[in-house]
Chain A
Amino acid sequence: MGYRSRLHREQTGRCLLLACSAVCFCTVVLITIFIFAQGIPVFKKVPLGAFLFSTNWSPSDAEPHYGVFSFIVASIVVTTLSLLFATPIAISTAIYLAVFAKGRKAAIIRQSIELLAGIPSIIFGLFGIAVIVPFVRTAFGGNGYSLLSASLVLAIMILPTIINISEVSLCAVPAELKEASIALGATDWQTITRVMLPAARGGITASLVMALGRAIGETTAVLLVGGNAPLFPESPLSMGRTLTMNIVTDMSYAEGVHMSALFATAMLLFCFILVLNLLVRRKS
Chain B
Amino acid sequence: MNRNTTSRLAVCCVRILSATTIILLVAIIGYIAFRGLWKRERYVSDVLPSFSAGQQFVLSSPRESGLEHLSWFALREMAMGKVPNLRSVTGVNEPFSLYVTDDSLPAFLAAMDLTQTQLVRRTTLPLRPENGSLVVSLEAVPHERNVRLEDKVLAVDTVVAALNGNRRISLVANEDLKRLLAGNLRSWKELGGPDLPVVEAADERELQTVRGSWMVMDAKRWRQLSGSDNAPAKLDVEGLQESRNLSWGYLTGRTVESGKYGGIGTIVVNTFFLVLFTMLAAMPVGVAAALWLVEYAKDGLPKRCIQSGIDILSALPSIIFGLFGLLVFVQLCHWSFSLLSGTLTVSLMVLPTIIRTSEEAMREVNPNLLEASLALGATKMETIFRVVLPASRRGIVTGMILAIGRTVGETAALIYTIGSGTDVPKSLTSSCRVLAMHIYLTITEGQSTDKAFASALVLVLLVLVINSAANRLIHQRRH
- Interface on A for B, CB 8 Å cutoff? 6-7, 9-10, 13-14, 16-18, 20-31, 34-35, 38, 88-89, 92-93, 95-97, 100-101, 108-109, 111-116, 118-127, 129-131, 156, 159, 163, 187-190, 192, 210, 213-214, 216-220, 224, 244, 247-248, 251, 263, 266, 269-270, 273-274, 276-277, 281
What range describes how many residues of B lie at the interface? 35 or more
Complex: chain A residue closest to B405, CB-CB: A118
Q: How many Å lie between the Cα of A156 and that of B21 in the bound state?
A: 8
- B20 CB–A CB distance under 8 Å: yes
Q: How many Å lie between the Cα of A219 and that of B414 in the bound state?
A: 12
Q: How many Å lie between the Cα of A125 and that of B291 in the bound state?
A: 38
Q: A35 to B28, Cβ gap below 8 A?
A: no
Q: Which stretch, B9-17, B49-57, B100-108, B187-195, touches the partner chain A?
A: B9-17
Q: Which stretch, B76-84, B208-216, B242-250, B458-466, touches the partner chain A?
A: B458-466
* Residue among A13, A100, A120 making CB contact with B408, cutoff 8 Å: A120
Interface of A is mostly: helix
Q: Knowing A89-B21, A111-B471 touch, does A23 contact B411 (C-beta < 8 A)?
A: no
- Residues on the B chain within 8 Å of A92, using CB: 13-14, 17-18
Interface residues of B in 257-311 (CB under 8 A from A): 284-286, 288-293, 295-297, 305-306, 308-311
- B376 CB–A CB distance under 8 Å: no
Q: Report the minimal beta-carbon distance from B302 to chain A, rounded to whole angstroms.
A: 8
- Residues on the A chain within 8 Å of B286, using CB: 20
Q: Report the minimal beta-carbon distance from B400 to chain A, rounded to whole angstroms.
A: 14
Q: Knowing A30-B324, A127-B28 touch, does A109 contact B306 (C-beta < 8 A)?
A: no
- Residues on the A chain within 8 Å of B311, using CB: 277, 281
Q: Report the minimal beta-carbon distance from B476 to chain A, rounded to whole angstroms.
A: 14
Q: Knowing A17-B292, A35-B323, A266-B319 touch, does A115 contact B467 (C-beta < 8 A)?
A: yes
* Residue among B295, B384, B463 making CB contact with A118, cutoff 8 Å: B463
Q: B32 to A127, Cβ gap below 8 A?
A: yes
* Residue among A23, A31, A130, A281 making CB contact with B285, cutoff 8 Å: A23
Q: Knowing A18-B292, A25-B306, A276-B315 touch, does A35 contact B379 (C-beta < 8 A)?
A: no
Q: A187 to B21, Cβ gap below 8 A?
A: no
- B159 CB–A CB distance under 8 Å: no
- B241 CB–A CB distance under 8 Å: no
Q: Report the minimal beta-carbon distance from A265 to chain B, rounded to whole angstroms.
A: 10
Q: Which stretch, B59-67, B170-178, B348-356, B365-373, touches the partner chain A?
A: B348-356
- Residues on the A chain within 8 Å of B409, using CB: 118-123
Interface residues of B in 407-445 (CB under 8 A from A): 408-412, 415-416, 436, 439-440, 443
Interface residues of B in 1-40 (CB under 8 A from A): 3-4, 6-8, 10-11, 13-15, 17-18, 20-22, 24-25, 27-29, 31-32, 35
- B456 CB–A CB distance under 8 Å: yes
* Residue among B6, B7, B15 making CB contact with A96, cutoff 8 Å: B15
Q: B452 to A126, Cβ gap below 8 A?
A: yes
Complex: chain A residue closest to B285, CB-CB: A20
Q: A100 to B15, Cβ gap below 8 A?
A: yes
- B375 CB–A CB distance under 8 Å: no
Complex: chain A residue closest to B452, CB-CB: A126
Q: B459 to A120, Cβ gap below 8 A?
A: yes
Q: B32 to A213, Cβ gap below 8 A?
A: no
Q: Knowing A20-B285, A22-B306, A23-B289 touch, does A121 contact B313 (C-beta < 8 A)?
A: no
Q: A213 to B315, Cβ gap below 8 A?
A: yes
Q: Report the minimal beta-carbon distance from B344 to chain A, rounded to whole angstroms.
A: 10
Q: How many A-B residue pairs have CB under 8 A?
A: 246
Q: How many Å lie between the Cα of A138 and that of B309 in the bound state?
A: 46
Q: How many Å lie between the Cα of A111 and that of B471 in the bound state?
A: 8
Q: How many Å lie between the Cα of A100 and that of B452 in the bound state?
A: 40
Q: How many Å lie between the Cα of A89 and that of B29 in the bound state?
A: 19
Q: Report the minimal beta-carbon distance from B143 to chain A, rounded to whole angstroms.
A: 39
Q: B324 to A218, Cβ gap below 8 A?
A: no
Q: A97 to B18, Cβ gap below 8 A?
A: yes
Interface residues of B in 213-246 (CB under 8 A from A): none
Q: Knowing A127-B32, A263-B323 touch, does A122 contact B456 (C-beta < 8 A)?
A: yes
Q: B21 to A159, Cβ gap below 8 A?
A: yes
Q: Given known contacts A96-B14, A116-B21, A277-B311, what 15 new A-B pairs fall within 8 Å (CB)?
A: A6-B379, A21-B306, A24-B289, A26-B309, A27-B324, A93-B18, A100-B11, A120-B410, A121-B411, A122-B409, A123-B456, A127-B31, A131-B27, A213-B315, A217-B320
Q: How many Å lie between the Cα of A101 and that of B460 in the bound state?
A: 28
Q: A113 to B21, Cβ gap below 8 A?
A: yes
- Residues on the A chain within 8 Å of B456, using CB: 122-123, 126
Q: Knowing A16-B288, A100-B15 touch, does A266 contact B313 (C-beta < 8 A)?
A: no
Q: A118 to B467, Cβ gap below 8 A?
A: yes
- Residues on the A chain within 8 Å of B289, using CB: 17, 20-21, 23-24
Q: Report the minimal beta-carbon distance from A97 to chain B, rounded to whole angstroms.
A: 7
Q: A93 to B21, Cβ gap below 8 A?
A: yes
Q: Report the minimal beta-carbon distance from B21 to chain A, rounded to whole angstroms.
A: 5
Q: Report the minimal beta-carbon distance from B426 to chain A, rounded to whole angstroms.
A: 25
Q: A119 to B296, Cβ gap below 8 A?
A: no
- Residues on the B chain within 8 Å of A124, using CB: 28
Q: Report the minimal beta-carbon distance from A189 to chain B, rounded to whole angstroms.
A: 4
- B312 CB–A CB distance under 8 Å: yes
Complex: chain B residue closest to A224, CB-CB: B443
* Residue among B21, B292, B348 making CB contact with A109, cutoff 8 Å: B21
Q: Knowing A35-B324, A224-B443, A263-B323 touch, does A20 contact B288 (C-beta < 8 A)?
A: yes
- Residues on the B chain within 8 Å of A111, using CB: 471
* Residue among A9, A109, A126 making CB contact with B453, cutoff 8 Å: A126
Q: Report the minimal beta-carbon distance from A115 to chain B, rounded to whole angstroms.
A: 6
- B318 CB–A CB distance under 8 Å: yes
Q: Knowing A24-B352, A122-B409, A274-B312 touch, does A266 contact B35 (C-beta < 8 A)?
A: no
Q: Report the minimal beta-carbon distance from A80 to chain B, rounded to whole angstroms.
A: 17
Q: How many Å lie between the Cα of A228 and that of B216 in the bound state?
A: 47
Q: A120 to B317, Cβ gap below 8 A?
A: no
Q: Report the minimal beta-carbon distance from B332 to chain A, rounded to whole angstroms.
A: 8
- B75 CB–A CB distance under 8 Å: no
- B112 CB–A CB distance under 8 Å: no
Q: Report the minimal beta-carbon distance from B464 to chain A, rounded to whole angstroms.
A: 7
Q: Report the minimal beta-carbon distance from A166 to chain B, rounded to whole angstroms.
A: 12
Could you jot down 7 A-B contacts, CB within 8 Å?
A18-B292, A31-B320, A120-B409, A122-B456, A247-B319, A266-B323, A273-B315
Q: A188 to B11, Cβ gap below 8 A?
A: yes
Complex: chain A residue closest to B17, CB-CB: A92
- B179 CB–A CB distance under 8 Å: no
Residue with the highest number of chain A CB atoms closer than 10 Å, among B289, B318, B466: B289
